[in-house]
Amino acid sequence: GRRGSFAILSERGLEPHDVRENLKARMPSVDEAETLKLPPGEPVVEMIRWTRTADGRVIEYAKGVHAASRFEWSFPFLIPD
């Protein structure tokens, strides 16, 4: 939808509460290297994400494999008092 997946989940009574993302650098499989057109020796970063409701129910799961040299993650956060 135009308002994004979190809005759609909320409309269906599945209010997102927290998101966890795990990032793992590793060497690609042969299929991944071919699909991503990687040069020999280039690693990938695998990202797995879970979005949960306040009671811990997983409402979204995503997995992506990205060429390490072509992807960047940024994690801004507030410093607590």
**Residue pLDDT, tens place only, 34-79:** 999 999 999 999 999 999 999 999 999 999 999 999 989 888 888 8
Please give the model's pTM, rounded to 2 decimal places. Answer: 0.77
| pLDDT value of position 1 | 57
Residue scoring higher pLDDT (81 or 77):
77
Indicate if the alpha-carbon torsion angle 59, 63, 66, 68 is positive or negative: positive
- Residues 67 and 36: beta-carbon distance below 8 Å: yes
Contact between 59 and 80 under an 8 Å Cβ cutoff? The reply is no
> Average pLDDT for residues 20-26, to the nearest whole number?
96
Q: In this predicted structure, what is the pLDDT of residue 2?
A: 66
Which residues fall within 8 angstroms of residue 9, CB to CB, at 6 or more apart?
Answer: 15, 16, 51, 59, 60
